[in-house]
Amino acid sequence: MTHPQDARHLVGSKWSARRPSERELHWIVVEFAVRKGLATLEAVLTKRRRELPWRELRDRTRWVPGWESPSEPAAGGVESA
């Protein structure tokens, strides 16, 4: 899965944190504030939410599109099942 080029397609997209903390590896974009340019992500495991500028999701050192297993290296944006 490639990352959305248009912010309007962010809601519902799945992301993996490259450096997860507190076992929060997998995230889903649940809201997008157009005027602020902020995406709200929810951790799948803990349901904790965090806001960040949506363009930060392009940083492959921090985020990978799709869900990776913890033992997998980043496969160039290929989503795992």
> pTM of the full predicted structure?
0.77
The predicted pLDDT at position 41 comes to 98
3-state secondary structure 35-77: CCCEEEEEECCCCCEEEEEHHHHHCCCCEEECECCCCCCCCCC
- Top-tier CATH class for 7-64: mainly beta
What percent of the chain stands above pLDDT 70?
Answer: 79
Asked if residue 53 lies in contact with residue 72, where contact means CB atoms within 8 angstroms, the answer is no
pLDDT tens profile 26-63: 999 999 998 999 999 999 999 999 999 999 999 999 99
Count of Cβ atoms closer than 10 Å to residue 36 Cβ = 10
Residue 8 has pLDDT above 80, yes or no: no
Distance CA 31, CA 26 (A): 16
Residue 14 has pLDDT above 70, yes or no: yes
